[in-house]
Every structure is written in structure tokens, then in C-alpha cells.
Chain A
Amino acid sequence: MTRSFTTSGAPFFAPKPTVTKVMLQVLLALVPGILAYAWFFGPGVIVQILLAMVFALIFESLMLRLRGQPQLPYVTDLSALVTAVLFALCIPPLAPWWISCIAMLFAIVVAKHLYGGLGQNLFNPAMVGYVVVLISFPQAMTAWLPPLALSQHSLGLADTLAIIFGGQIPIQGGWDAITHATPLDILKTTLDSGAVITEIRRSPLFGDYGGLGWEWVANGFALGGLFLLYKRVISWHVPLAVTGSVILLSLPLWLANPDSNLSPMQHVFSGAIVLAAFFIATDPVSGCVSNPGKLIFGAGVGIITLVIRRWGGYPDGIAFAVLLMNMAAPLIDRYTRPRIYGE
């Protein structure tokens, strides 16, 4: 008695990791940072995340249909949601709803699907979306909030929704009464007008080592980043290179002139450096492949960000830095191929 079997290629092992699981781990890792963000800056943060998620899924599904691709498993691979969350974390919590819509249009439709879909995008989709709205709608992109502890008017969920969807300011005094510049904004404008750091830092907007509230958001993202490192979803090269290059470059500037330069610590914990180091610059699709390549990529992101912060026209420059390095990634890859066994 003999028996027949079907055949298929080795290896024969179960279960295998999945793209969905990788993306899910990234989303999970973002939770502590998101919670801290919402804790300090109100429910607008969560609303923006959900809004971007909805638009991302709509565009993802639409593009899959137009490209003749199956909806499953692509819609459920969660990659569009990661893009959406990363984008939503970059914009002001009170930004109008159509900001998300336009940004996701560019992120999902243009940067992702027009380049060939998952795994094919040359540029980081979330950063493409962010830069498009940052450049096109600078006014809407400045609706930042002060930490709840400092705001005179606490906005409830209803107020937040009214502002985001209706553009209605429920409080007397309009926009100026509720929005506030970010620490890096303040720094940029006041430094230009000749103030010194110690003076600026007396503003209640600054915390112990970063912006008030912002430093805890950064801590939350760092915690999530460590989780990703532990789970080996990301390697240590990019986070180390980003933060390391920011520290190494800002240190001599600060030592030479502490009056007009932030300390390395303040640089790292203000703005989006930590988020970028662990979650944005680590995007494998648009980043570098080899470990030396990742180090160069991360260092480039850190250096360009700092240059934009210090000498550029924008208070923060992560998005531009990431996109510029995305362009350089294929070239970096070409020159950083690891030595093959026996070579």
C-alpha cells in the first residue's frame, strides 16, 4: 500500500510571522506615546488619529480597487493605519478635518499606490502627506494647543469636534485664545528677535528637559520604541544614529554658545525627534537595507533636522529630513553592501 502526497517548497515550519503582525506591533508600540499626548493635549489627538485612519482606509480600499488588487489581505495588513497614525501625530490636534483628507490622499494614493503599493514606495507616505499640508496650508497647521495644565479654556470632546469639523471656535477670543505656539516655535521666533535661551526657557511652556508635556510624549514614544527593539521589529541602528547625530551636532553648538543654542537633551526631547527616531526613520520600505546604510540614513535625518531647526525657516524639520534621506537611500544602499561570506 503506497500513499500519495502533495508537494511544496521547503522550509516546512509553522507558524510564520506576518506583515499584519509587524504592523500591529508598531501600532501597539505607539500607544504609550499617544496616551501621553492625549493626556497633555486633550481629546483632539485621538480624534485626529481616528480621522486619518478612516481616510487612509477609504483611499487604500479605493486604490486597491482601481489597481485591480484584492481587498484582502491588503486592507487588513494595517500598513495604511500605521501611515495614518504617524501622520496624525505630526499635525496640530485642532487641525480641520480636510487636512487629514488631503494628507491621506497624497500619502496613500500618490506616495504609496502610484508608486506600486505596499513595499514599493520610494518616500515615507506619512511624511509626504504631512509635508504637502504643511506647505499648502500653513495657517491650519499652526493650530497647536498648549498643554492642558497651561490652557485657560479646557476644550471638551464636543468643543474639539466642533472646531475640527465645523471650524467653530466656541470660546470668546477666537483662535488666539485657545491655540498656542509650540516650544520650538517660540524658540525660533524669540531667538530671531534676540532673546537668550535662559530667558526663553523661563516660559512655562518648557518642562524639565523638553517642552512641557512634550517631554512625556517623547518618553512614551521612547518606551514604545524600546518595545519594538525588544521585539526586533526595528534594529538599533536608525534610532541610535538619529539621536546620536542630533546630540553630537548640537553639543558643540551648545557648549560654544548656550545662550542661543538648545542643549542636546532639549533638542532630543522637543519636537518629533524621538517619534522619528523609532517610528518614522525606521520605515524599512523607504529606508536603507544594510546596517551601515541604516547608520548613515539615521545620521542624515538627525543632521538635516538639526540644520533646519537651527538655520532653516521651519521650527522642526524631521519630515523634510526623512524625505531627503529617502531620496538618498538607494544610493547609500549601493555603497554599503555588506561583505559576503568568503569575499
Chain B
Amino acid sequence: MNDAVARIGPVNHHFHGGLRLRHNKKISCQHQVERPRLPKQLVVPLQQHAGDVATPCVQVGERVLKGQQIGNCESCVAIHSPVSGIVNAIENHLISHPSGKSDNCVVITPDGAEEWVKLDPVTDWQHADPEELILHLKLCGIAGLGGAVFPTHVKIRDGRARQIHTLILNGAECEPYISCDEMLMREKPAKIILGARILRRAIGADRVVVAIEDQMGAVYEALNAAAHEADSKNISVVKITTIYPEGGERQLIQVLTGSEVPIDGRPSDLGLVCQNVATAAAVADAVVEGKPLIERYITVSGNGITTPRNWLALIGTSFAHLIDACGGYRGDVTRLVIGGPMMGYPVASDAVPVVKAVNCILALTQADVATPQVEMPCIRCGECARVCPARLLPQSLYLQTKNGLWDDAGAYGLSSCIECGCCDLVCPSHIPLVDWFRFGKSELVQRKIKTRAVERARTRFEAREQRLELKQRKRAEKMALRKQMLKDKSKQKDRVQAAITRAKEKADNKPRIIHGSSDDT
């Protein structure tokens, strides 16, 4: 274990570049988080996680209970009904995707009874088998709520195998406008710490470090008090400087430890695992109360929203419903964005449902969005390189990507781009750099797959050649042997012939001899 990594403490390190952005977080932190009134219909997409699509395990017309499993996925996590009600349809419905595509969803009409399925918590998690905890998280549909929705049980199982010493809870919500994690930490600090202890046990780590931004005010005291009560020795809350994108996993690790995650590696190479604070809270609900992941904190904000605030929203609630609950739109809303203004993506309609990955719905007005400006040629001013947290040279990568110099782009670290958007924001030529890099990265992946396929084909071909050669050689050997034997046979014939002649000779001579002998006797 690296010494620096073990010494995560009050000393903050720095990552390269980054931007100090206007936060715009306060506007959505004025109200306590509540549940909006029950929507008339909930649309639960069957693909919500990184991984395979879930198969529905309910029938149309069937009554489901709140928390009942409605989707099944072997390689991924389960999907549950957010309400009790009737399954109206299992059909294609608009989902939260920038292309405006549709996907298979379970449509449920709530009956208002809010009748829970029989919950099955883990009794005495402190002594439970870690493997049981991991399986429980899978059944309760827990996935990373920071935005990547990577199945939590997979991350933990990987971590268990690799000797993790520290669990990092990521509460550094660095994108402007988004405040759902901040509100969660402010309102449910004990639940987060409990979830952290469960995760720590599941992974087999010793310590927990909760990282929050230094501008989050009361959050630090709240979390610290909760941590102190639970396990003051091994759970620490660390304030870090607010610079975008310090909430990125690799940047956060650099800030906390001063060490960098290896370029082709994972945090577990340093003995670390990162989880979002909201994931930890969901873990606590799942393990202690047995409640599956059916609702989450969501920020609805932006200058295009009448009363920006945070909601505890059921998965499957339509964006329009939440925006209505905020008093509707205000002004000339030109973009509806999922996530923050830096890394979020726009959706074409507010009819899309909330999924586990949605942490923020942002309604931006014309004044917020840069009016489409003419793209100019790159003048290599280098602003992009100055702000790049991965220490890349975006101006070079841009030219390499544009001109298809894939080997150069690979050598200049295109795959290390975290798509944070800093370069894009500072570019005076208004080049959509991140779009180019996304394209370039997928191209590199494609090429890697192709090279691997070629490589495989070559090994297969070589193996076949070898096999054939071996076969031929064996056959040749056999032939040779047989020939040898044949030759031997012909010799044998000679020998037989010789024996026969000998015998004949003997036979010819024998009587005489016999006679002779008999004569003798």
C-alpha cells in the first residue's frame, strides 16, 4: 500500500487545471426536501443501469405492490415498482436519452394505497456474511447514484477481491446547480454514515473518508456529528476546495491522497473504492429496512423553473410532473438538461421519466445557454490545456481526432479524457471539443476491438496452421513408419524365404542326417 494513500487526511492536494464556476446551488436549497404528490402514472424503464436490460417479471393488468420486483436481470440489478397499483402496459416509451429514443418500460397506474410488499431486511448486518450483503444490494436494485449507475454489488465484489483499505464517499457535488447530495447530507447524515459502515463491512475496508466541498456550510457539522457518534476513529469527514471537476473520481482521489490512479487502472489499484453519498443512503435503506431503490433526491433547478428545489421523487415520475410541482416553467426555456450544465445532456421532451441516474433536471433559458456561435479555427491559444484536469493537450487531440490520426491521438492520451467540458467552456473558437473527443474515444474503442479481433483471428489462424502441420507431420511419421514396416515386411519375406530355403535345405539334409544319426545310433 502506498504511504501517501494511507495518509488521507486534512491536507488537500491539487489536481491540474479545473475551473471555478458560478455555483447557482443556493437557489434550490431554500426548501426542505419533500415528496411531490403521487403522479397519475409511473413509467419505469427496464434499462436503468450500466449493463444488460432487465426482463419484466410482471404481467399487464397485474396488481403490484410498492417495492415489488418488476424487472429481473442476472448480470445487473433488479428493478422494483415504486408504488402499489396496476401494471397498465409494458411498452416502448420515451426515455431520458439525448436522441429522444424510446425503450421498453413498465407503465404503472398507482392505486393510492401505497401498500408495501413484505420487506426483507438483513437482520444484524454487523455480523452478516459480506457475500449476503452484496447479494442483498443486487436484489434491492442498488446502483451508483452519482450518475454512472454502475451496479454497486459488482464494484464491491471487485473491491473485496483486491484488498481495499479505504472507502471514499463522494459528496463533492461539483457541477453548478445540482444540490441533491448536499440536501441529502444535510437532512440524512446518520443514514449516510450507516450506509457507509455497511459498505465498509461488505468491502472489507478499514476506513471511511467522506469528502465534501468546503462551501457546503452546515453539512460538515451534520456529517461530522453523525460520524462521531458511529465510529469516530475510522470515519472522517474531509472538506475539499470547490473547483470543478473535483467530484470526478480520479480528481477526488488526487485531491485526497496526492496519488493518481494508474492510467489503465482503477481506484482499487490504490486500495480505494469510491461510492456516492446517495448510494450509501440507499444501501442503508436496503439493508436495514429492506427497502429497494425506488426513489431518490432530485434537484429541479435553473432560471427556467419558477421555484427551484429538491424533491424526493419516485423512479418513473415524469419530468413534467416534478416541474409542475415546482410551479412550472418561467421565461423562455430553451434547453431541458439532465445533470449539470457541464456534463449533463439535453432531452427533447419533459415527458421522460426519472430513472436512478437522474440527479438533476435543469431548465435553462436563452440567457443561460451560449447562443450558438460560429465555430472558428483553433488558434492553439492553449487555454484548454491549462484547464484540463487529465493534463491532456486538447488542442492537439482535436486536430488528431479531426484528421483521423488515431495512433497519435492514442499516444496523446485521448482515452484519458473524462469529458468534463472545461476545455469546451474556455475555447475562444467555440469548437465543440468534448463532442470531438467522445467521437474519438468511441473510435479508439472500436479500433481496439477490431485490432483485438484481428489479433484473435491471427492466433486462431496460427493455431490452425500449427495443428495442420502437426497432423501432417504425424501422418508423415505414420507413413514413414508404415513404409518402414512394409520395407521390413519385404525383408521379412526375404527372411521367410531364407527360412524356407533354410528349412528346405534342412529338410533335404535331415533324413540323411537323421539317417546318418540313426545310422550312428
- The interface of chain A, by Cβ under 8 A from chain B, is 1-19, 21-22, 73-74, 77, 79, 117-120, 232-233, 235, 284-285, 287, 289-290, 333, 337-343
Contact = CB atoms under 8 A, between A and B. Distances in A.
- Give chain B's interface secondary structure class: loop
Nearest to A340: B413
B395 A289 contact: yes
A5 B428 contact: no
B348 A5 contact: yes
B391 A12 contact: no
Interface string B443-476: 0000000000000000000000000000000000
Given A6-B348, A8-B372, A14-B371, 12 more contacts: A10-B346, A11-B341, A11-B342, A14-B367, A16-B430, A17-B428, A21-B428, A73-B374, A119-B377, A232-B383, A290-B393, A342-B263
16 contacts: A6-B346, A8-B346, A9-B435, A10-B337, A12-B344, A14-B367, A16-B426, A22-B381, A119-B377, A119-B380, A232-B383, A285-B380, A337-B412, A338-B393, A341-B15, A341-B254
Contact of B265 (A284, A340, A342): A342
A343 B391 CA distance: 10
Nearest to B364: A12
A342 B412 contact: no
B345 A10 contact: yes
B432 A9 contact: yes
B335 A340 contact: no
A338 B393 CA distance: 8
A14 B263 contact: no
A342 B416 contact: yes
Given A12-B370, A342-B265, A284 B380 contact: yes
A343 B345 contact: no
Contact of B342 (A5, A10, A15, A22): A10
A233 B379 CA distance: 12
Interface in B369-388: 369-374, 376-383, 385-386
Interface string B245-256: 000001000100
Contact of A12 (B320, B337, B380, B385): B337
Given A5-B333, A12-B364, A12-B368, A341 B381 contact: no
B416 A5 contact: no
Nearest to A235: B382
A284 B381 contact: yes
Contacts of B343: 10-11
A290 B424 contact: no
A291 to B, nearest CB: 8
A15 to B, nearest CB: 6
B396 interface: yes
B250 to A, nearest CB: 6
Given A12-B364, A342-B262, A342-B416, A73 B376 contact: yes
B460 to A, nearest CB: 33
A17 to B, nearest CB: 4
B336 interface: yes
A70 to B, nearest CB: 8
B351 interface: yes
B346 A14 contact: no
A2 B351 contact: yes
B392 A77 contact: no
Given A339-B391, A341-B250, A5 B261 contact: no
Contact of B335 (A12, A19, A117): A12
Given A73-B374, A289-B396, A8 B429 contact: no
Interface of B: 15-16, 21, 98, 100, 250, 254, 260-265, 318, 320, 329, 333-337, 341-351, 362, 364, 367-374, 376-383, 385-386, 389-393, 395-396, 412-413, 416, 421, 424-430, 432, 434-435
Contact of B376 (A11, A15, A118, A338): A118
Contact of A284 (B320, B382, B392, B426): B382
A284 B379 contact: yes
Nearest to B435: A9
B382 A3 contact: no
Nearest to B17: A341
B362 to A, nearest CB: 8
B373 A6 contact: no
A99 B379 CA distance: 27
B260 A342 contact: yes
B428 A343 contact: no
Most buried by B among A233, A287, A338: A338
A341 B391 contact: yes
Contacts of A342: 250, 260-265, 416
Contacts of A5: 333-336, 346-350
Contact of A16 (B100, B349, B428): B428
B346 A7 contact: yes
Contacts of A2: 318, 320, 349-351
Nearest to B432: A9
Closest 7 CB pairs of A and B: A119-B377, A340-B413, A7-B346, A342-B263, A2-B351, A11-B421, A14-B370
A118 B377 contact: yes
A4 B412 contact: no
Contacts of A285: 379-380
B478 to A, nearest CB: 56
A13 B425 contact: yes
Contact of A119 (B15, B250, B345, B379): B379
B121 to A, nearest CB: 38
A4 B348 contact: yes
B250 A19 contact: no
A7 B98 contact: yes
Contacts of A341: 15-16, 250, 254, 260-261, 263, 389-391, 416
B329 A14 contact: no
B368 A16 contact: no
A138 to B, nearest CB: 33
B434 A337 contact: no
Contacts of A232: 383, 386
Contacts of A118: 376-377, 379
A338 B367 CA distance: 37
A77 B427 CA distance: 15
A2 to B, nearest CB: 4
A326 B15 CA distance: 31
A300 B333 CA distance: 53
A289 B424 contact: no
Contacts of A343: 263, 413, 416
Most buried by B among A1, A8, A233: A8
A14 B367 CA distance: 7
